């Protein structure tokens, strides 16, 4: 909980105020036209919902997702070879925004002069995602779509801003940390072959080792 508040306290307060403000304002506008048709009891009930219960419900869903994603990452990191990732350079951390705009720490390393982050997708909790961020603006739309289709067969998600290698930890059993390092090194070769323009991790607010 301390890390959640350390990273997201301001956003959670603003989120609460925005949600309660929008809902309460909407209901207040409704009352301007239909005040005589709504019993006082229901006015009080609805205001308590818009001011307190609805915002807290939304925020609790966001917070639950934040903790679930952290739990999924830690579950992968507790098993070999992922528990030994520090041996291949995953000793630093950066802040990354999750799907619901809350932020958390993720690990990253430099392999073959490329910065690689480790994360998971909330919808695929057993899939480890290793991403290299960079631009490939030199590719036209046809070339981009062709390469995206080509890399998809290797479980590499190729976008305009990143190359992401996905490893299903249930199906792809790696025997050693060296095997993982080899996979990530191969990813760096692919990225360099595409002549990408790196998006440096240092531009995404490095924060030391606070994972």
Question: Which structural domain, as residue segments, surrounds residue 114?
Answer: 80-208
Judge if 132 and 200 occupy the same domain. yes
Is the model's pLDDT at 211 over the cut of 70?
A: no
Segment of 80-84, 194-198, 205-209 carrying the highest mean pLDDT: 80-84
Higher pLDDT pick, 71 / 153? 71
Q: Give pLDDT tens digits for 72-131.
A: 999 999 999 999 999 999 988 888 888 888 999 999 999 999 999 999 999 999 999 999
Judge if 43 and 87 occupy the same domain. no
pLDDT-derived band at 206, boundaries 50, 70, 90: very low
State the CATH number of the domain containing residue 121. Answer: 3.30.1460
Judge if 41 and 95 occupy the same domain. no
Judge if 106 and 182 occupy the same domain. yes
Mean pLDDT of 162-173: 91
Judge if 62 and 88 occupy the same domain. no
Burial code of 169-200, b = ≥16 C-beta within 10 A, e = fewer? beeeebeebeebbeebeebbebbeebebeeee
Higher pLDDT pick, 156 / 204? 156
Query: pTM of the full predicted structure?
Result: 0.81
Contact residues for 154 (Cβ-Cβ < 8 A; gap 6+): 165
DSSP-derived 3-state class of residue 107: strand
As for how many domains the chain has, the answer is 2
pLDDT at 78: 93
pLDDT-derived band at 33, boundaries 50, 70, 90: confident
Judge if 44 and 57 occupy the same domain. yes
Judge if 124 and 177 occupy the same domain. yes
Contact residues for 17 (Cβ-Cβ < 8 A; gap 6+): none
Which of 42, 75, 108 is where one domain is finished? 75
pLDDT at 176: 94
- Dihedrals phi, psi of 165, to nearest 5 degrees: -90, 125
Judge if 96 and 124 occupy the same domain. yes
pLDDT-derived band at 152, boundaries 50, 70, 90: confident
pLDDT at 63: 94
């Amino acid at each position: 909980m301390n890390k959640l508040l350390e990273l997201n306290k301001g956003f959670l307060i603003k989120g609460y105020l925005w949600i309660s403000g929008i809902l309460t304002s909407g209901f207040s506008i409704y009352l301007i036209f239909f005040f005589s048709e709504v019993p006082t009891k229901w006015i009080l009930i609805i205001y308590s919902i818009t001011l307190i219960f609805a915002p807290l419900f939304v925020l609790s869903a966001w917070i639950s997702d934040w903790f679930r994603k952290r739990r999924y990452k830690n579950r992968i990191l507790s098993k070999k070879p992922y528990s030994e990732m520090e041996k291949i350079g995953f000793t630093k951390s950066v802040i990354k925004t999750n799907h619901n705009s809350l932020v958390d720490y993720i690990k990253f390393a430099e392999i073959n002069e490329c910065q690689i982050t480790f994360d998971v997708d909330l919808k695929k909790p057993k899939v480890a995602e290793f991403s290299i961020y960079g631009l490939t603006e030199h590719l036209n739309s046809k070339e981009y779509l062709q390469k995206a289709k080509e890399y998809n067969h290797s479980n590499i998600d190729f976008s305009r801003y990143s190359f992401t290698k996905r490893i299903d930890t249930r199906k792809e059993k790696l025997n050693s940390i060296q095997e993982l390092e080899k996979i990530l090194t191969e990813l760096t070769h692919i990225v360099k072959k595409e002549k990408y323009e790196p998006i440096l991790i240092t531009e995404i607010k490095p924060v030391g080792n606070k994972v």
